Amino acid sequence: MTVRRTMFGRPLRGVAFDVAVSALVALIVLAAVNPPGGWAATLVGAGMAVALLFRRTRPSAVTVAVAALALVQVIAGWGPLAYDVAVLIALYSVVKYGERLRDAVLAGAAAAVGVLLAAAQTPGVIAWWVTTLWYALVTGAVWLVALNVRTRRLYVLSLEERATTLEREREAESRAAVAEERTRIARELHDVVAHSMAVMIVQADGARFMLDRDPAQARTAVKVVADTGRQALEEMRRLVGVLRDAGPTGVGGFAVAADPEHRRLALADLPDLLARFGDAGLRIRHTVTGDALVLPPGLELTVYRVVQEALTNALKHGGVGAGVDLSLSYTADAVVVRAVDDGRGRPVVSPAPPGGHGLLGMRERVTVYDGSLTAGPRPAGGWQVEARLPLPTSGPATEVIAA
């Protein structure tokens, strides 16, 4: 990070440059030997030098002050002096730093009048119109250079402002996408918890009716209630974690909208998902390694969503006909989802819209279960997504026993 030193609320380099310019004009004033106005002319030059200290912050006021002092010089009949370079500096400053271009035009008109007056008071053997042309060329060149610098300065400022606006928009879009994904996750986890509570109620009622008829089955039902309750409590903890930053109307201030077609998805629905993506044009090679475990409903839903987002990403960027190696690995302590596409599909007719948040959504889901996600391009081409989700330490979910 660059640290900018300031003085009087202004960049230190700018203050130092203005002081140097003012000191140079003051040095010209003091170096004059027997100026035509004596000490009065020296005071006028000193006033111009002091006024130039504020040429950046108050360019219009500085130009008016310098022009007034130059008018005093003309009225006194001293003629052009060396320190009149301050007039050109003030003209340059008002054109470059003035808030309105109108001030620059007015300053240019006043400078044109000053050129005529200065030429009229310049002694010499050459014709007056030659002197006027010389003064006009110098003054006009200063005005045009300042106008060009002003245009470039405003262009750079507009680019910086545009970049800042785009950055704020990207941040706002990312926050909205995170909030929307958290809302969706929270709704799905809510369904998981509600399902677990329903199972507990059914099993508790079954245990109550079977307590006298079949105590062994009643004990089994009570165990199911206990296991399901622990699992529901764990899912509730995750749900609270997702809603940690929720506003009064939903996650992140977003209202939770009802989904009439919403249902809890599971890994049993994975073949249908792969078939749909196969019909869409992906060549999917699906492998499962390790012993398939009975996962908690929330974790099972997360695995399904990660596979769905990874295949969507492959179809969106790899194109129709891209090959995807999808593997689902069960280890002793985790389940690993890995999707690798070769990126060799046919390009879509219309390009994919920018600003997608599929990876962001996957990362949010994986983080809920303390997992890890890696995604990025492959050296040989294509894209790779790998998600590792730790298994719960309490063991697999217990099967529901009907009363």
Architecture (CATH level 2) of domain 177-253: Up-down Bundle (1.20)
Which residues are bridge partners to 326 per DSSP? 286, 339
Q: What is the pLDDT of residue 324?
A: 92
Q: What is the pLDDT of residue 3?
A: 46
What mean pLDDT value characterizes the chain?
77
Give CA–CA dist 389/333, Å, rounded.
9
Q: What is the pLDDT of residue 242?
A: 58
Longest CA span, the chain? 132
The answer, yes or no, to whether residue 302 has pLDDT greater than 80, is yes
The answer, yes or no, to whether residue 398 has pLDDT greater than 50, is no
Give CA–CA dist 102/114, Å, rounded.
18
286: DSSP letter: E
pLDDT band of residue 292 (cuts 50, 70, 90) is: confident
Give CA–CA dist 32/82, Å, rounded.
8
The answer, yes or no, to whether residue 329 has pLDDT greater than 90, is yes
Phi-psi region of 322 (alpha: psi -120 to 50; beta: other; left: phi over 0): beta
CB 302 within 8 A of CB 389: yes
Nearest in space to 385 (alpha carbons), one of 295, 333, 318: 318
Nearest in space to 289 (alpha carbons), one of 342, 335, 333: 335
pLDDT band of residue 254 (cuts 50, 70, 90) is: very low
Give CA–CA dist 223/240, Å, rounded.
26
Give CA–CA dist 111/89, Å, rounded.
12
Average pLDDT over residues 273-295: 85
Q: What is the pLDDT of residue 167?
A: 83
Average pLDDT over residues 26-46: 83
Q: What is the pLDDT of residue 144?
A: 92
Q: What's this model's pTM, rounded to 2 decimal places?
A: 0.44
Beta-carbon contacts of 373 under 8 Å, excluding residues fewer than 6 positions away, are: 306, 359, 362, 363, 366, 385, 386, 387, 388
Q: What is the pLDDT of residue 372?
A: 92
Question: Cα dist. 360→41, 173, 331, 336, 354 in Å?
Answer: 71, 12, 25, 18, 14
Average pLDDT over residues 87-111: 89
Average pLDDT over residues 329-345: 89
Give CA–CA dist 217/211, Å, rounded.
8
pLDDT band of residue 104 (cuts 50, 70, 90) is: confident
Q: Which residue has the higher pLDDT, 92 or 228?
A: 92
* Greatest mean pLDDT range, 4-18, 39-53, 167-181, 185-199: 39-53
Q: What is the pLDDT of residue 317?
A: 77
Q: What is the pLDDT of residue 397?
A: 43
Q: What percent of the chain has pLDDT over 90?
A: 14
Q: What is the pLDDT of residue 245?
A: 52
Give 125-183 pLDDT, tens digit per residue: 567 778 888 888 999 999 999 999 989 988 888 888 888 888 888 877 777 777 777 77
Give CA–CA dist 143/101, Å, rounded.
12
Give CA–CA dist 183/190, Å, rounded.
10
Report domain extents, the chain: 6-123, 177-253, 267-390
Q: What is the pLDDT of residue 195?
A: 58
99: DSSP letter: S
Give CA–CA dist 215/207, Å, rounded.
8
Architecture (CATH level 2) of domain 267-390: 2-Layer Sandwich (3.30)
Q: What is the pLDDT of residue 172?
A: 77
Q: Which residue has the higher pLDDT, 68 or 360?
A: 68
100: DSSP letter: S
Identical fold for domains 177-253 and 267-390, yes or no, is no
Q: What is the pLDDT of residue 395?
A: 45
Q: What is the pLDDT of residue 389?
A: 92
Q: What is the pLDDT of residue 188?
A: 67
Give CA–CA dist 317/339, Å, rounded.
13
